[in-house]
Structure 1
């Protein structure tokens, strides 16, 4: 008998011992256990993926809400800024017109004061000139008559 025969006999004895020790059952049990473990991991991965998709959808919804809220806040701020700008413009125009009116009133008052002062000075000068002229042309008798005539005219006006 040659070596090939003994190799075949050894192989059959080895396969018999493996079958007697229930190694194929242990291998199939280990493979089944590993398959169950992989199946569970796949199910867990599917659940995690679904949860991640739900979280992603929720975060996207929240982001859209935040963007719309930011847009509404921005538009409200722009409207408020525009209203404040218009209000400030109106108040500035009112202030300028009021200050202009006050300046014009002061100018008119200054003109009236200057005219009154010039008139008063002219009257004073006219009185002084008239006194000098009358003093040089009128004697004491004429002066007394003029005084009496003026006094009579004053009494007539007062009554």
Structure 2
């Protein structure tokens, strides 16, 4: 290339820095050459491999995060299922406890009713027995008073109607009857 420029200068022509009609000293040529040199250096230093390794590391990190998130989600679903089962069990246990409490309350009420009825029956029997005893005592007392009154009245009548002479006649008559009865 340099030879062409020298030959052209010797011929008195202006040196045209072109090869086959392509200008070598323009800006496009220098930018293209710089890019080729830069791409060559990048390939020589293995930058694409480093970029690929960096991207692979990021992909692996993201995949690990996704796997961890999936594991956390599975664990959360498992915990949710466990707590739902525990909640269902607790609800069932609460319902069972409520049913047992209601049954116990019914049993206590039934026992209280039975006990109250038995107590009322015992108290009625005691009251009836007391009334009957009071009636018997009153009847006995009345009989005693009537007997005393009758005895007193009979004694008074006998004392008024019978004297020693009437008694003598009664005794004689009784003795005479005894004699006939014994024979």
TM-score per shorter chain, which class?
0.7 to 0.9
1:116-135 mapped onto 2 (5 Å cutoff): 116-135=140-159
**2:106 corresponds to 1:82:** yes
How many Å apart are 1:83 and its aligned residue? 1.7
Query: Aligned match of 1:39 in 41, 59, 63?
Result: 63
- 1:97-156 deviation line (CA, Å, top 9, x unaligned): 12101101110110121121012112102211221222122112433565785xx9xxxx
Q: Which moved more, 1:51-60 or 1:20-29?
A: 20-29
How many Å apart are 1:34 and its aligned residue? 1.4
Gaps of 5+ in 1: 153-159
**2:95 corresponds to 1:71:** yes
Query: Aligned match of 1:53 in 53, 56, 77?
Result: 77
**2:51 corresponds to 1:30:** no
Q: 1:98 to 1:19 in 2, by over 3 A?
A: same
Q: 1:24 to 1:122 in 2, by over 3 A?
A: same
- 1:46-94 deviation line (CA, Å, top 9, x unaligned): 0121121122112212211221122122112211210221121012111
> Whose helix proportion is higher, 1 or 2?
1
How many Å apart are 1:17 and its aligned residue? 4.8
How many Å apart are 1:7 and its aligned residue? 8.5
CA-atom RMSD in angstroms: 2.9
Gaps of 5+ in 2: 1-24, 178-183
Q: Which moved more, 1:133-142 or 1:16-25?
A: 16-25
Q: Larger C-alpha radius of gyration, 1 or 2? A: 2
1:87-106 mapped onto 2 (5 Å cutoff): 87-106=111-130
How many Å apart are 1:19 and its aligned residue? 4.5
Query: Aligned match of 2:133 in 97, 105, 109?
Result: 109
- 1:14-61 deviation line (CA, Å, top 9, x unaligned): 665555433443233222101111111101210121121122112212
**Partners of 2:110 and 2:51 in 1: CA distance:** 86
**Partners of 2:32 and 2:150 in 1: CA distance:** 162
